[in-house]
Chain A
Amino acid sequence: MKYRLTFTKEYPVKYVGHMDVVTTWTRAFRRAGIPLAYSQGFNPRAKIQVAGSLPVGTMGSAELMDITLTEPVAPDDILARVSATLPRGYRLLAVEPLAPGTPGLQASLRRAEYRVTFETDLPADELRARIDRLLARTEIVQTRVRRKRTETFDLRPMIINLSLVEKQGDDAVLAMTLSAGQHGNVRPEAVLTALGINNEWYQAERTKLVFDI
């Protein structure tokens, strides 16, 4: 039996890496008495798949995870029992059973929406102007390190939406929709860099994952 869970990853667990997040949830399911299915073999692992690994330091307000159980459990029951035993910073928002044959999360992930807060003394008009100039470009070449190799890539086609939400005091908030998944994945930091914002403090939150169904 497969289920799809919607959960949050907030402060302070935004600093916990992807693999350790899986361990945390595995133990929570075990404490809650949820009958997880395990892989066969030398080193059995719980069948848990989390969509689009969230970079260390980024929060998530609607993350998704598929789990496989050895026997059916009522979704409300899963929600109540697991919620009662989660560490601070995670919340379980929804549980729904998955129809057999539903494609896996990783294969169909296409886009992600973010809300990015950062400190800046630039006025709102200047920020809007920079956004407009950036979006008007046809190519934004950046470099990044991947698998210990530095490579260049074009950021522009990966920015689907970008806008200023608000500027309050020293804090500015941007909304972004960026490519995610196997066909191109980019982090919100890349957009900040392209906007000429190299703050030492910013806070990214992934608010939605968008799939190709």
Chain B
Amino acid sequence: MIINDRELDRILATVQKPARYIGGEFNSIVKDWDTIPTKIALAFPEVYDLGMSNLGLAILYNLVNRQPHLLAERVFVPWVDMARAMRARRMPLYSLETRHAVRDFDLIGISLPYEQLFSNVLNLLDLAQMPLHSLERDASFPLVLAGGNAVFNPEPMADFIDMFVIGEGEDVLLEIIATFEDVRHADRDTQLRRMAQIPGVYVPRFYHPVYHPADGTLMELSPTVAGVPAHITKRISPLMPEPVTKFILPHTDVVFSRASVEIQRGCTRGCRFCHAGMVFRPVRERSLAELLETVDAIVRDTGHEELGLLSLSSSDYSQIGPLVQAISEKYQGAALNISLPSLRLESFSAELAEMLVGRRKSGFTFAPEAATDRLRNVINKPIRTESLLEAVDAVYQRGWQMVKLYFMIGQPTETDEDVIAIGTLAKQVLAIGRRYHNNKAKVRIGVSTFVPKPHTPFQWASLWDVADIERKQRILLDEIRGQRSILYNYNNPEESLLEAALSRGDRRLGAVIERAWELGAGFDAWTDQFRGSAWWQAFDDVGLSAAWYARRPRLADEIFPWDHIGAGVEKRWLLLDWQSAQQGETKIDCREHCYNCGILSAFKGLRAATPPTAWKCPPVRNPRWQKKVEAGDVIGLTPVVKASMARAKVPEI
């Protein structure tokens, strides 16, 4: 089914920002539907304005469309007004390139980088006029796959998705499509049994979870059919994949309107809260020559005014100095803004950034994450306050009037002193700014709530109680009250509670997600759309507790719903690192010293087949840091955390 112009006109006349729904952008790829045998819809379960900023989608779109016999088209979730209008007219969700109904595709690949998108996946399936449940869709429906960072714990979405792709999609997507072409005419179960043979693919219908009757935790999650793996290890590209240069230029002003290129993938810093830092190992760099060629090609192919050099820790790119210098020399006066996010807290960062910006010095962002030396040791982001202040000094001195600092509250072992220290630090930073800019100096502190994530050393940690987070937000506010040059942003702790419950949830949460969606949840990443009441009612209706998932203390030997999914970093290693965190022991950059996290043993063969310098892992040394952990211990909880748990009366399921 194709949506025709006049039918679309009738609807678009009634909605906001209709340009989101029309396609035809420069660099979008329109292939001949009738002569291409295999078609995939690449869906980002958010509105166009947000989805179009996603680099992963752009990479897969170009990867598939480079194959002459394949076609990939984009699908986003229409905003609330458009969704209402489409439902009223029974218009199915359609792709932007050729306006075919999503149902007409062979496969739908859904990108799930974060948990707030789960409810929108149901929106997407429903608007596509497809049954929500995987088991209710036979082979006449497209095969629904999902990948991205959030599927490192796929269980909460297991009811809705036919197969999950664990790890880096560019390495496996073409293999999946080729397998589909092989089993195109088979029934859905047969198709999925073949898919389950592909390394990195997880087909949840072939696995069954069993829970402890006593406490509701997972007892086991194992295959129910022969020939599917008990453990699924992620896929990785051994080298950086080919960069995208022909970025689709959105018709409307999108959230991050820029072209971007990854300078490296992965991070060796080992921050204990950081999901990306754990699941994107090992670190792979793009060569300086390739980066410079790519920047030239992007400018030529897009005419973009904004270009982002992406990585989890830009300062760690080995050629960062030469890169920035070459780009700034070449593009001086070309009305090109180049952004370099994730700079380390050091004076050199100000030098780097200054080389890149022309006139615009809007604000300089650092992410110390915690305000005391002690807590930064716990989270393994060991920067000393004095170096932090030196870095800030360099930034103000070079002309920036605003410094933005990102923090998290609610981290393990945190005390009120750590929270108050955020305010104290903000005032110290402002005092430095005033030396250079008098009353024009500003500090913006963005304070989010720490959410424990699976596959990180903090996966055993508890989320703080909502009331306690609100109290911490207030004492910080008291600390900076009356300071008009300190701007303070913080998030709604209820959103953090939901994120925490979903990110470490199990398969039973499928019913909660479905109920919440029925009650109106959707676009949960938008503060004005987030409906806490729908979610809490959904938990009640299903008979589960968000707090149980988010806040219960987890024992060292607890089986987690994501234990059968391998990110390469071993659980045993994460547990030891969690214990080190309690003692405030830090680990240095693992390019300098290998802590044997497990990534090299998981990908031994791949490493051997890859040039030895391509990964930034040094040789493994004798791991003298290993310590014994007693099974059954509530690992290393400090007295403070224990006390707060007792106060909070974390409910049992």
Residue from B253, B302, B359 within 8 A of A20 (CB atoms): B253
On whether the beta carbons of A88 and B18 are closer than 8 Å, the reply is no
CB neighbors of A among B1-36 (8 A): 5-6, 9-10, 12-13, 18-19, 21-26
Q: Tell me, rounded to whole Å, the shortest Cβ–Cβ distance linking A127 to chain B.
A: 20
| Also in contact, A15 and B303, with CB within 8 A (given A20-B252, A24-B249, A27-B249) | no
Q: Is the CB of A16 within 8 A of B302?
A: no
Report A1-59 residues with CB < 8 Å from chain B CB: 11-13, 15-17, 19-20, 23-24, 26-31, 38, 41-44, 46, 56-57
Write out the residue numbers on chain B whose beta carbons fall within 8 Å of the beta carbon of A75. none
Is B26 within 8 A of A24, CB to CB? yes
* Residues B13 and A44 in contact, CB atoms below 8 Å apart: no
The residues of B that contact A212 with a CB separation of less than 8 Å are none
Contact across chains for B359 and A44 when beta carbons are under 8 A apart? yes
User: A24, B9: Cβ atoms under 8 Å?
Assistant: no
Tell me, rounded to whole Å, the shortest Cβ–Cβ distance linking B13 to chain A.
Answer: 6
Contact mask A75-95 → B, CB, 8 Å, 1/0? 000000000011111000000
A188 to chain B, nearest CB (A): 13
Question: Cβ of A12 and Cβ of B335 under 8 Å apart?
Answer: no
What residues of chain B lie closer than 8 Å to A31, measured between beta carbons? 300-303
Contact with A along B120-157 (1 / 0, CB 8 A): 00000000000000000000000000000000000000
Minimal beta-carbon separation of B237 from chain A (angstroms): 29
Assess the A15–B19 pair: CB atoms within 8 A: yes
A31 to B23 alpha-carbon distance, docked (Å)? 20
Contacts known (A11-B5, A200-B10); A57 close to B303, Cβ less than 8 A: no
Q: Does B360 contact A (CB under 8 A)?
A: yes
A15 adjacent to B22 (CB under 8 Å): yes
Q: Tell me the complex Cα distance, A86–B25, Å.
A: 9
CB <8 Å contact, B359 and A42: yes
B304: CB under 8 A from chain A?
yes
With A43-B360, A89-B24 as contacts: A15 and B304 at CB distance below 8 Å: no
A43 to B299, CA, bound (A): 19
Is B564 positioned at the interface, with any CB of A under 8 Å from its CB?
no
Complex Cα spacing A43 to B359, Å: 8
B374 interface contact, C-beta 8 A: no
Q: Which residues of A contact B (CB under 8 A)?
A: 11-13, 15-17, 19-20, 23-24, 26-31, 38, 41-44, 46, 56-57, 85-89, 200-201, 203
Please give me the 3 A-B residue pairs with the lowest Cβ-Cβ distance, nearest first: A30-B303, A27-B303, A12-B22
Q: Which residues of B contact A (CB under 8 A)?
A: 5-6, 9-10, 12-13, 18-19, 21-26, 249, 251-253, 299-305, 335, 359-360
Give 23 A-B contacts (CB < 8 Å), ordered by A residue: A11-B5, A12-B5, A12-B22, A13-B19, A13-B22, A15-B12, A15-B18, A15-B22, A16-B251, A27-B249, A28-B303, A30-B303, A31-B301, A31-B303, A41-B359, A42-B360, A44-B335, A57-B12, A86-B26, A87-B249, A200-B10, A201-B6, A201-B10
